[in-house]
Amino acid sequence: MPIRFQIQVRHAALAAFLAVACLADETAAWAEKTQTESPGLSPEEQIVISVYKHASPGVVHITSTALAYDVFFNPVPQKGAGSGVVVDDRGYILTNNHVVEEADSLEVTLPDKSKVPAKLIGRDPSNDLAVIKISVPKEKLFPLKMGNSDALQVGQMAIAIGNPFGLDRTVTRGVVSSVGRTLRSESGRQIRGVIQTDAPINPGNSGGPLLNSRGEVIGINSAIYTPSGGSVGIGFAIPVNTAKRLLPQLIARGRVSHPWLGVAGLDITPEVASALKLPVHHGIVVMQVSPKGPVDRAGIRGARKKARIGNMLVGVGGDIIVAVEGRKMTSIDDLTAFLDAERKVGDQVKVEFLRDGRSLTTSVRLGELPEER
């Protein structure tokens, strides 16, 4: 092994060791600090108790009301419930998009049991995040400290606070079970970097915080995996770094600007390549382009006819996107993730594609993903 590489490896290992040692020291200091508050309890119990005492005032109960209609067209209010995180003393509250998206009115219950109306400020269905706002005196607000989800390690403590089944400010504890998971939002786009936890999360926890042992928000609880409808120890939280990155846009614009090519496509798998007799084994078959959208203006073509693959009817004959900015694209999800992470609306990107077996390249100016209605 070259000496320079050995030094780099040693430096990286030392940095990782110091980070773990620092985290252990901070957690130990936190436990020692709280030991005087409730003597006779274990260090883990002390941590959970202290986190709950300090963080629960910053967790609110959100009630949404949507109007439905019965068979006689009479309006019937339908209520939903979720949780939210107070992010500053101006009254802004972070929650999940699915908690508020269908609401005709919103109400927030504060820790002192007072109820106040809330206004929807902004939402991003692609990341299942939303911001609402209440108008109350600053002394009634307890903003929570935002942590760093990029520094999470599998196995560290995870504490969830929320309102499962309407049970006000319930705490559950577990660990970070995994990081870097992928979750598909209701809009169909993938949310990457999702935190998995075994801290019990149930309906009503949505929008509430997932916290570390220092009481910092590391994620916004969003979903559970459940065959039965109840918690089975697999919950998911949107990483707080994603929320921190999007929060300014949600407050200022009411939405998040996502770069967009304006294309619907079919991922090429070996089975698809064989069935359609395609000249490549990776890429995206362009089935449809949005009229006057970015790729349409750049001259990329969609499907011209239909073909059946198994029990699916798909569009074929369109161009095949194989790379963007020199990166191979194997799926629509890869394309979306690349654009979201590394490009912004208005950027020019080089798109490589095949048309009738010929390799072509064109420049596309990225548009903005249309807002859902």
Sign of the CA dihedral 228, 234, 239, 242? negative
Contact at 8 Å (CB) between 248 and 213?
Answer: no
Neighbours of 158 (CB within 10 A): 26
| Residues in a beta bridge with 94 | 85, 131
Residue 128 a catalytic site member: yes
Residue 64 a catalytic site member: no
Instruction: Give every CB contact of residue 47 below 8 A, 6+ residues apart in sequence.
Output: 27, 30, 31, 34, 157, 213
Instruction: Give every CB contact of residue 243 below 8 A, 6+ residues apart in sequence.
Output: 94, 129, 146, 220
Residue 222 a catalytic site member: no
Q: Two tokens at 24?
A: 């252990």
Q: Which of 149, 206, 222, 231 is catalytic?
A: 206
Q: Which of 124, 128, 198, 319 is catalytic?
A: 128
Q: Which amino acid is at 321?
A: I
d(CA 109, CA 83): 10
Q: Two tokens at 190?
A: 């993938």
Q: Which of 98, 213, 258, 296 is catalytic?
A: 98
Phi, psi values for residue 34, rounded to 5° = -85, -10
Q: CA neighbours within 13 Å on the CB side: how many for 134?
A: 28
Catalytically annotated residues: 98, 128, 206
